[in-house]
Amino acid sequence: MDDRGHLRSPMSAARGRSALTLWLAVVLALAAEAEAPAGFSCRPGSRPVVFNFGDSNSDTGGMAAAMGWHIRPPEGRAFFHHPTGRFCDGRLAVDFLCESLNISYLSPYLKALGSNYSNGANFAISGSTTLPRDVPFALHIQVQQFFYFRDRSLELISQGLPGPIDAEGFRNALYMIDIGQNDVNALLSYLPYDQVVAKFPPILAEIQDAIQTLYGNGSRNFWVHGTGALGCLPQKLSIPRRNDSDLDPNGCLRTYNRAAVAFNAALGSLCDQLSSQMKDATVVYTDLFPIKYGLVANHTKYGFDRPLMTCCGYGGPPYNYNISISCQSKAAIVCDDGSKYVSWDGVHLTEAANAIVAAGILSSEYSTPKIKLDQFCKV
């Protein structure tokens, strides 16, 4: 019925409902856009500053410095031409991300000599987990190390001495978190899938606490990475099994990968929740599973000949991995061309694979919201 009491035809009523639906959709979209952060809170043209927290996937030499390890070649051979403390033949994904921002590679917080902290610092340490939270070098400890670094830097500046980063630099910095893989792997080593997933909440609570603690101290830009395709790691594939029933068509372990996907889904939901709570912050979540699984599933596309075989390891085909003979062992067998391999040492990726992972991250295709990392401090 219209305004004058006249009945409207069903088609007219339908058109009215469609118009109303469209109008409501536009209003809701505008409201969502108004509530969403405009992007990174870094003034265009400012010097990008990055602080990274994580494990060996982004450790640029922290564990080597902490433990006094003398990492030997062939580590670093593809790019640096000498070992740097990275568990890789060259650059990590975080190194390529720094290149995209036109800043120097992140120096490990614990590296006393030759470090440059003008563009940030790397607190990632190989083997790190979220739990237990008070042991070196858990995520909580890394965050505490950051506060020590921040307070000391600001103290130096207050005394009229040169400090690497000022208050504005800390406030506008990008805080990256890439951790959880070791937690999930540890659980999978002794628990069935359902019990593994049931233990995710405490792990996620530690990541949440880290982000909220940093936020409470002025941080506003966060970039969080999910875990990768754990079931495609030669380390896991080399574990003796009764049969191949758990292998998928690409030769990866389904159970490990199911756990990785479930963890990432929960982590993505956590980041959505934090975004809704911290209205003036930007929290970007990037799902690394499809990127890293794609290295195996689409290996011919990327030029990889041996997607499931370790470049630097021991034992020969199919995985060239032996838990007792690492890449650092004199008995290790090293491939001639790491660019043909996905896995460097059975756990960590080659530089060639890391470059593809970084490109996936930079594409924003796997990120929520779809913000371009390489535009940090540019727009």
Give the residue numbers marked as catalytic: 56, 345, 348
pLDDT, tens digit (0-9, with 9 covering 90-100), for 276-287: 999 999 999 999
The pLDDT of residue 44 is 77
Does the pLDDT of residue 29 top 60, yes or no? no
Q: Are 316 and 50 in contact (CB under 8 A)?
A: no
The pLDDT of residue 249 is 98
pLDDT, tens digit (0-9, with 9 covering 90-100), for 69-118: 999 999 999 999 999 999 999 999 999 999 999 999 999 999 999 999 99
Q: For the chain, what is the largest distance between any 2 Cα atoms, rounded to a whole number of angstroms?
A: 92
Nearest to 232 by CA among 323, 124, 318: 318
For the entire predicted model, the pTM comes to 0.89
The stretch 28-45 carries a mean pLDDT of 55
Nearest to 252 by CA among 173, 314, 307, 176: 307
The pLDDT of residue 21 is 42
Does the pLDDT of residue 10 top 70, yes or no? no
Report which secondary-structure segment, H or E, holds 286: strand 282-286
Give dist(CA 368, CA 283) in Å, integer: 8
Does the pLDDT of residue 4 top 50, yes or no? no
Q: Residue 368's beta-bridge partner residues?
A: 285
The pLDDT of residue 351 is 98
Percent of the chain at pLDDT exceeding 70:
90
